[in-house]
Amino acid sequence: MNFSRESSKIFGLIAKIKFPKIVQKQINGLYVNYFKIDMSEFKDTAEYKSLNDLFIRTLQIPRKIEDGFISPSDGKILQCGNTFLADEEHFAFSIKGHTYSIVELLKDSFEEDELQNGLDYINIYLSPKDYHRYHSPCDMQILSATYTRGVLHSVNEKHLECISALYTKNERVSLKCQNEKGIFWLVFIGAQNVGKMRFNFDTNIQTNAKISYNFTRKYDNLNIKKAEELGHFELGSTIVLISQKGLLNLDLKVGQSIKFGEKLSD
């Protein structure tokens, strides 16, 4: 039995329970206070009918959308920069001193020639306090979605230090995308207690489910506008953004906080 997957399913079920209003209000308040969540952009804490509703809360005050290529989500930048070659394979850092293979991460969502000229990457960690919805970082076309089955380790910094190449072990969905500058990938990585990852453009993609195989779904003319909502995590996780060389001009600092709508690159 995969304990992390089973515990995540159980947690997901509990989070969806709608307790009596007075009880739910207390549960929500405890969660918000414990994780020090800023609720100024959202409905009042007491209005959410379950913990899951609170996790996937929507913005009530529209965000300012900055120029350029924007962050797809709220979170913390754990690492960013250029990939490097080792034994003719591209690698990136999850956190300082710990690496993962780009080929292993992306699995069936790329062609070899798309990686040849080098890559840039950003790892964005969404903690339990963060806004859990994710959005398009630019006007783009989604070419495919690749589901890769895996375990559900926690993806916080402590676990990244303890588990080698953690991102390539966890369940994930890789979106292969394209804009006028080139190809990039948005990789949504599942984590312990992440009940589901949802995608608005394709509700048939199911995560944390009884799926025993990997698959890729290809799309024709699936165009998404900048800042358009793509879907949501049911609790915190990680988004890895990988782009072909020259698509992004990164000016970011490891450890900085970022919010959906803020500029990542020109």
- How many CA atoms within 13 Å lie on the side-chain side of 50? 13
Residue 191 is assigned to a structural domain of this protein: yes
237 counts as catalytic: yes
CA dist., res. 191 & res. 213, Å (int): 18
DSSP symbols for the chain: --HHHHHHHHHHHHHT----HHHHHHHHHHHHHHHT---TTS--GGG-SSHHHHHTPPPSSPPP--SSEEPSS-EEEEEEEE-EEETTEEEEEEETTEEEEHHHHHTTS--GGGGTT-EEEEEEEPPTTS--EEE-SSSEEEEEEEEE--B----SHHHHHHSTTGGGTB-EEEEEEEETTEEEEEEEE--TT---EEETT-TT---SSS--S-EEEE-SS-EE-TT-EEEEESS--EEEEEEETTS------TT-EE-TTSEEE-
Active-site residue (options: 90, 132, 135, 153)? 135
Active-site residue (options: 74, 98, 109, 153)? 74
Residue 217 is assigned to a structural domain of this protein: yes
Beta strand pairing call for 133-135 and 140-148: unpaired
Residue 172 is assigned to a structural domain of this protein: yes
CA dist., res. 238 & res. 47, Å (int): 27
CA dist., res. 138 & res. 181, Å (int): 11
CA dist., res. 265 & res. 25, Å (int): 40
Asked if residue 102 and residue 125 are part of one domain, the reply reads: yes
Asked if residue 92 and residue 32 are part of one domain, the reply reads: no
Asked if residue 193 and residue 73 are part of one domain, the reply reads: yes
Asked if residue 98 and residue 7 are part of one domain, the reply reads: no
Active-site residue (options: 71, 136, 154, 237)? 237
Ranges of residues in the chain with a pLDDT under 50 are 1-8
132 counts as catalytic: no
Tokens at residue 59, please?
């913005």
Asked if residue 179 and residue 101 are part of one domain, the reply reads: yes
pLDDT at 193: 65
- Our count of domains for the chain comes to 2
CA dist., res. 122 & res. 83, Å (int): 10
Asked if residue 183 and residue 122 are part of one domain, the reply reads: yes
Tracing tokens 């797809």 back to the chain, one arrives at 72
Final residue in a domain of this structure, among 56, 77, 100:
56
- How many CA atoms within 13 Å lie on the side-chain side of 66? 14
pLDDT at 12: 58
Residue 28 is assigned to a structural domain of this protein: yes
Asked if residue 86 and residue 215 are part of one domain, the reply reads: yes
Tens digits of residue pLDDT in 232-241: 998 768 999 9
Asked if residue 255 and residue 123 are part of one domain, the reply reads: yes
- How many CA atoms within 13 Å lie on the side-chain side of 238? 32
Asked if residue 128 and residue 251 are part of one domain, the reply reads: yes
Asked if residue 174 and residue 112 are part of one domain, the reply reads: yes
pLDDT at 13: 62
- Its domain, for residue 127, covers 69-265
Asked if residue 221 and residue 188 are part of one domain, the reply reads: yes
Q: State how far the alpha carbon of 117 is from the alpha carbons of 69, 73, 82, 111, 181, in Å.
A: 21, 27, 11, 13, 14
Asked if residue 13 and residue 123 are part of one domain, the reply reads: no
